[in-house]
Structure 1
Amino acid sequence: MTELQHADIPEPLPDGALPLMGENSGLGLSATDDVRPPITIRKVSFQRFKQFKDTTITLRPGVSLIAGGNNSGKTSLLHGLAVWEFCRTATRMERGEEGLLPEATDRQGFGLGDEQFSPINVPSLKHLWTNLKSAKEPDAADGGYTLHLTCEWEQDGKARELGFGLALVNDRLFIKTASSNLASGDPAPRIAYLPPFAGIMAREERINGAIRRRRIGEGLAGAVLRNLLLDMQQANLAKRAALRERPAHESGKRRTKISDADLKRLREEDPWELLLQALRGVFNAELQVKDFREEYHSYIEVLVDKGTVDGYKFKRHPGYNLRDLMVEGSGFLQWLSVYTLATSPDADVLLFDEPDAHLHPTLQQEMLGRLEDLASSVGKQVLLATHSSEILRNAEPSKILQIKPGGSTRYLSEPHQKIGLLEGLGSDYAPRIDQVRKAKHILFVEGTSDIPILKHLAQAAGLTWPTDWVAWHTTASHKERKNLWRALIEDIPGIVAVSLRDRDDEALNTVGDHLQDANCPDLEGFHARKWRRRYIEAYLLWPPTLAACSGKTEDEVTDYLRDHHAIAIGSSFVDRDAPQTLIDVRAKNILTGLGLNAIDVAKNLPAEAICEDVLALLKLLNDLA
């Protein structure tokens, strides 16, 4: 990059000089007594960061489920916030608190080597920039700081803002405070990022905050899990010791144990206590962190105990041998890493990238419920990127933040909007939705054989099958299909849908003229239809065709229909108001009994055997196309 003037380039930090960021990185999990209220980010803005060329995203308090198709920007949102946190911490350590104040925007930035960049894992720093273009644009007044990350929040009823500019010069990253309205002493949100769980090792050494952040940024959260657990357990032991040292009463005598009131408060507020209680409740398990002395021990040992739970009491299973944390299943370890970070007092905003990836649907819901409880009780903000249909299906729409390719975002407001997400709306690669986008016609059917049967019947009737219709196989009800159509037309206006269902055991009077479903009135663009007969196979029972396809004589087929299914088929077979026995006949059993396939029968049905109901549906499809 040549556009950045030499005068704008400060002397970079020496290699490896970025210091420990424990107090406000959220990744050191230091045992602080910081009791300030957690801060909620209201808005985050990106310029030239990954998919977000110029994007502002409004965020809500509590838990937000970040959803969207592959490559839509879910992870980029989390990455952007993680890089913002890195910039804030690095600036604070290099320039002090004054480096975050408004007057710092007129000063030079500072430089880091790529080996010091630890919040996320990228092949090279150039991958932070949209389309890998980090160079200054002609006539731009940014001084070469071409990538910008800005967070906004509210503190004491006043809007706060802190933004950073980033520049790339010869593989060195330069960071500069680009915008700020902070006053001295104003706190900023503390952000912690947890990528998908991986990297647990048999032997984990004691490591400092900078190395922890690097490993987490590289996607190796498991490689620091024992460190985080050791920190939490040691902080808990220190609190317990302090509570025992408190005078029992005015006489000044020391206690021999923690008072009931102090113990109750400790169990309700301390991260280690919360974690253990959650493990007891979900897995009937406890953790035992072995004593660790840095001058003696090389590795951190954490064992898992299994047993029965009664309130706060835990009783080990008879004969159970404690085992190392590493041998537990991936679901247990993923859940543990998420909850360990969630209970940390050092983070206001938690970023989880697909934490449900290794979890059974029941555990997914359990994890989300506990995160919501934490968020509401202590005021944490949680951004959780997910593809889980289980989580999205059961979530309130207002908690789902949808991200679409290009950076457009919205919180959902209606249940039907979730269906579009579950079906892949917004994905870069969704073949069926791509077809709908082009054709704008959807034919919902229940069985995979329905469309081939209809095509053969159209050919027999001398009608052209309209190629505009995209087949969508689903056993969902008309109502659910209508919700999906409503979700689709928000993104693809003008879609016409026909929803075709079997009548099965529903009352005959639920089918109106032209097969209209009386329980689901038509809307402009959505047409609900139901077969008058039990299902489509009942329109194929033409004896001459059954005989030709089965190799039997027509008399043999007629006798079979009469003796085994109590029906006689005559000239009224094609009529809209056919005999009740034909309306209700279980035609699939007849075809199976004759050893026939419905599609093969449809291929051989003559024009005179095409029923009026079938012709009504084919006419509707042609008219709408």
Structure 2
Amino acid sequence: MTDSQDADMPILETTAPTEDTGESITSPVTIDSPRRPVTIQRVYFQRFKQFKNTAITLRPGVSLIAGGNNSGKTSLLHGLAVWEFCRTATRMERGEDGLLPEAITRQGFGLGDEQFSPINVPSLKHLWTNLKSAKEPDATDGGYTLRLTCEWDQDGIAKVLGFGLALVNDRLFIKTSTSNLHPGDRTPAIAYLPPFAGITSREERTNGAIRRRRIGEGLAGAVLRNLLLDMHQANLRKRAELLERPLTAPGKRRTKISDSDLKRLREEDPWELLLHTLRSVFQTELQVKDFREEYHSYIEVLVDRGTVDGYQFKRHHGYNLRDLMVEGSGFLQWLSVYTLATSPEADVLLFDEPDAHLHPTLQKELLDRLTDLASNVGKQVLLATHSSEILRNAAPARILEIKPGGSTRYLVEEHQKVGLLEGLGSGYAPRIDQIRNSKHVLFVEGTTDVPILKSLAETAGMPWPDSWIEWRTTTSHKERKALWRALNEDIPGIVAVSLRDRDDEPIKSVDQDLQDHNFPDNGDFYSRKWRRRYIEAYLLWPPTLAECSGRTENEVAEFLRDQHGIAIGATFINQNAPQTLMNIHAKEILSGLGVNAIEVAKRLPSEAICEDVIVFLKLLATGR
């Protein structure tokens, strides 16, 4: 170690963790010793990935972690996964005393990068913000520049445990940096599951260290059969124990599990919960074949399909069992999520986009079942997602929004969800960046609306105001207003004009200034609606239609009269045009003539521009 390196970061002669016992994540808890899982209340990150100095408050139950790309959703999960790794490694290297306050003054211990297993990174330097792991010249942290801290409650008493990390010569050093724990205190057990991948046709029996590494590498499928085998064998042992329970009559032995014991087993045992869910959702059962360490090389898990009646499963006639690997990605994703969720070994579950391979209906089903599970057994679930289906159906209070820079909040109102779904807060949102500069947004329905309006504005001698940023959406004024409110929270002072087609709504629902009677203006949000069916109805000027279609004006007039029963004259531009013009299906007319609406708008003369269009262009020109 050079003089510039901290004396509290020794290079250890032996850094390998103690021999793994084969446990998958933490010590198992049987059904006879239930415990209430520990819920993390707050986490602190210092110089970890996107979080330079960030505190995040977490709620019990299911939290949906949402935000734009590169906002820090996965970094939150990764930070907690690395905290769990530090906790486990410290216990193996230093014992339980390594987590107590007296350990803060002791030296840390070092690990090689090959021993770092919680998440997959190109190099350990990528754990640090901006890849800067060196200590600052005036730092007092002893070189442990990255810190991960969790707070939780134990019987009404606030508990805290934090770890400092240092990187020296490609070796990771870990030490307890913050703790108020006492001997016997419980700490949260965290399990991380990245998007499903890695399943193979042959899976060998592996110990806990190998499983953690495979999951950290994003290869949860490579250990799925191991997890299922553990759960199945634990269930068999439990059933055997229930059969051995003594009867009241001396000398008698049970031939079956009692109804009360069976009911409790089905309600609490992880394997039973998993099977019941698979039967209910997929009409599927799993069969885990016997595995003997001294004889079998690979774990075999087969899928059975049939009909379900309560807890009874009947295989489809002629169905042949098949290996787990051949099932669809959605089923395997669901299975990996729910296998981890039902395991008693973890208090806090971290899921990174578990909805990635699921149909929208299954996404909602998965969220509902995870919510029920979290409520029933007290687990805490942090689920990072981009799914509009999941977010749209979730209560705002369940959604934890993360923005670039590390700011976080649980949503309060529905309109905040709208902004989130539209990409507000994303690091890659050029349209929102434009709105941030212009403070003006124009909501329209179709791709041709703005090009048509720009052409008509030029012809009318009314320059198009470039401050209006186009936002195409077919949603209602109400939903657009919700989006405007969400934008305003992030970018105060935005003026919005929402323009919609009238379509089949009655003409009396819109007045002379195009105000939509069904949705009055509110503040700087202006709701407007065409008096005619839609914008194309303002383009039906016969001379221009003839020019664009290559027909004569007489041929166009005959087409309008014979095919659509209309005649267009001097009243065409009036706001109170004949009723037939107000309701005409103009898109069909343009299509029948083989002309393009944008091309017609470019050639329309100034005397043919309708009064409704001028009214709307004046609204845009004034900026409100």
Smaller-chain TM-score bracket: over 0.9
Letter of the 1:542 partner, please give it. Answer: W
Deviates most, 52-61 or 196-205: 196-205
Q: Indicate the SS of the match to 2:53.
A: strand
- CA offsets 1:252-298 (integer angstroms, 9 cap, x no match): 53211111110111011000001111111111111111111101111
1:354 corresponding residue in structure 2: 353
CA contact (8 A) 2:514 2:612 kept: yes
CA contact (8 A) 1:19 1:210 kept: no
1:132 corresponding residue in structure 2: 131
Q: Indicate the SS of the match to 1:7.
A: coil
1:470 corresponding residue in structure 2: 469
Quick one: distance in 2 between partners of 1:546 and 1:113? Answer: 76
Quick one: distance in 1 between partners of 2:364 and 2:22? Answer: 31
CA contact (8 A) 1:69 1:425 kept: yes
Q: Indicate the SS of the match to 2:7.
A: helix
Quick one: distance in 1 between partners of 2:472 and 2:366? Answer: 33
1:323 corresponding residue in structure 2: 322
Runs (4 or more) in structure 1 with deviation over 4 Å come to 1-6, 21-24, 28-34
- Mark the CA change 1:537 to 1:621 in structure 2 (over 3 Å): closer, same or farther: same
CA deviation after TM superposition for structure 1 residue 42, in Å? 0.4
Quick one: distance in 2 between partners of 1:398 and 1:116? Answer: 38
1:85 corresponding residue in structure 2: 84
1:8 corresponding residue in structure 2: 8
CA deviation after TM superposition for structure 1 residue 251, in Å? 2.5
Q: Indicate the SS of the match to 1:512.
A: coil
CA contact (8 A) 1:148 1:165 kept: yes
Quick one: distance in 1 between partners of 2:52 and 2:78? Answer: 14
CA deviation after TM superposition for structure 1 residue 18, in Å? 4.3
CA deviation after TM superposition for structure 1 residue 9, in Å? 2.5
CA deviation after TM superposition for structure 1 residue 462, in Å? 1.1
1:71 corresponding residue in structure 2: 70
Q: Indicate the SS of the match to 1:196.
A: coil
- CA offsets 1:142-183 (integer angstroms, 9 cap, x no match): 111111000001110111111111111111111111111111
1:538 corresponding residue in structure 2: 537
CA contact (8 A) 1:3 1:135 kept: no
Letter of the 1:543 partner, please give it. Answer: P
- CA offsets 1:561-592 (integer angstroms, 9 cap, x no match): 23332322222221122222221222222222
CA contact (8 A) 1:23 1:32 kept: no
Quick one: distance in 1 between partners of 2:216 and 2:372? Answer: 27
Quick one: distance in 2 between partners of 1:13 and 1:394? Answer: 54
CA contact (8 A) 1:83 1:119 kept: yes
Q: Indicate the SS of the match to 1:243.
A: helix
- Mark the CA change 1:51 to 1:520 in structure 2 (over 3 Å): closer, same or farther: same
Quick one: distance in 1 between partners of 2:235 and 2:4? Answer: 50
Q: Indicate the SS of the match to 1:514.
A: coil
Q: Indicate the SS of the match to 2:513.
A: helix
Deviates most, 417-426 or 258-267: 417-426
Quick one: distance in 1 between partners of 2:82 and 2:13? Answer: 18
1:56 corresponding residue in structure 2: 55
Quick one: distance in 1 between partners of 2:503 and 2:488? Answer: 30
1:216 corresponding residue in structure 2: 215
CA deviation after TM superposition for structure 1 residue 6, in Å? 5.4
1:371 corresponding residue in structure 2: 370
Letter of the 1:89 partner, please give it. Answer: T
1:200 matched to 2:173: no
Aligned residue pairs total 624
CA deviation after TM superposition for structure 1 residue 248, in Å? 1.6
Q: Indicate the SS of the match to 1:266.
A: helix
Quick one: distance in 2 between partners of 1:173 and 1:41? Answer: 25
- Mark the CA change 1:256 to 1:4 in structure 2 (over 3 Å): closer, same or farther: farther
CA contact (8 A) 1:25 1:86 kept: no
Letter of the 1:446 partner, please give it. Answer: E
CA contact (8 A) 2:443 2:499 kept: yes
Quick one: distance in 1 between partners of 2:445 and 2:386? Answer: 25
Quick one: distance in 2 between partners of 1:365 and 1:443? Answer: 33
2:41 corresponding residue in structure 1: 42
- CA offsets 1:424-476 (integer angstroms, 9 cap, x no match): 11222123223222322211111111111111111111111111222211111
Letter of the 1:387 partner, please give it. Answer: H
Quick one: distance in 2 between partners of 1:525 and 1:317? Answer: 62
CA contact (8 A) 2:24 2:208 kept: no
CA contact (8 A) 1:31 1:231 kept: no
CA deviation after TM superposition for structure 1 residue 30, in Å? 7.5
Within a 5 Å distance, the mapping from 1:400-479 to structure 2 comes to: 400-479=399-478
Deviates most, 439-448 or 189-198: 439-448
2:278 corresponding residue in structure 1: 279
1:248 corresponding residue in structure 2: 247
- CA offsets 1:85-130 (integer angstroms, 9 cap, x no match): 1111111122121111111111111111111111111111111111
Within a 5 Å distance, the mapping from 1:158-197 to structure 2 comes to: 158-197=157-196
Quick one: distance in 2 between partners of 1:30 and 1:195? Answer: 24
Letter of the 2:111 partner, please give it. Answer: L
- CA offsets 1:475-503 (integer angstroms, 9 cap, x no match): 11111111111111212222221111111
Q: Which runs of 5+ in 2 are unaligned?
A: none
1:623 corresponding residue in structure 2: 622
Deviates most, 539-548 or 76-85: 539-548
2:586 corresponding residue in structure 1: 587
1:489 corresponding residue in structure 2: 488
Deviates most, 532-541 or 348-357: 532-541
Quick one: distance in 1 between partners of 2:3 and 2:220? Answer: 38
1:566 matched to 2:595: no
- Mark the CA change 1:158 to 1:17 in structure 2 (over 3 Å): closer, same or farther: closer
Within a 5 Å distance, the mapping from 1:98-109 to structure 2 comes to: 98-109=97-108
Letter of the 1:493 partner, please give it. Answer: P
- Mark the CA change 1:621 to 1:115 in structure 2 (over 3 Å): closer, same or farther: same
Letter of the 1:309 partner, please give it. Answer: V
- Mark the CA change 1:23 to 1:104 in structure 2 (over 3 Å): closer, same or farther: farther
CA contact (8 A) 2:31 2:269 kept: no
1:523 matched to 2:535: no
Q: Which runs of 5+ in 1 are unaligned?
A: none
- Mark the CA change 1:126 to 1:32 in structure 2 (over 3 Å): closer, same or farther: farther
Quick one: distance in 2 between partners of 1:258 and 1:195? Answer: 38
Q: Indicate the SS of the match to 1:352.
A: strand
CA contact (8 A) 1:23 1:30 kept: no
1:555 corresponding residue in structure 2: 554
Quick one: distance in 1 between partners of 2:20 and 2:486? Answer: 48
Q: Indicate the SS of the match to 2:173.
A: strand
- Mark the CA change 1:271 to 1:88 in structure 2 (over 3 Å): closer, same or farther: same
- CA offsets 1:530-580 (integer angstroms, 9 cap, x no match): 001111111112222222222333233333323332322222221122222
CA contact (8 A) 2:84 2:190 kept: yes
1:612 corresponding residue in structure 2: 611
Q: Indicate the SS of the match to 1:8.
A: coil
Q: Indicate the SS of the match to 1:36.
A: coil
Quick one: distance in 2 between partners of 1:311 and 1:13? Answer: 58
- CA offsets 1:201-222 (integer angstroms, 9 cap, x no match): 1111111001110111111101
- Mark the CA change 1:484 to 1:615 in structure 2 (over 3 Å): closer, same or farther: same
1:20 corresponding residue in structure 2: 20
Q: Indicate the SS of the match to 1:515.
A: coil
Letter of the 1:55 partner, please give it. Answer: T
CA deviation after TM superposition for structure 1 residue 7, in Å? 3.2
Deviates most, 420-429 or 552-561: 552-561
Letter of the 2:12 partner, please give it. Answer: P
- CA offsets 1:212-255 (integer angstroms, 9 cap, x no match): 10111111101101110110001000000000000121535321
Letter of the 1:189 partner, please give it. Answer: P
Q: Indicate the SS of the match to 2:198.
A: coil
CA RMSD of aligned residues (A): 1.7
CA contact (8 A) 2:542 2:556 kept: yes
Q: Indicate the SS of the match to 1:401.
A: strand
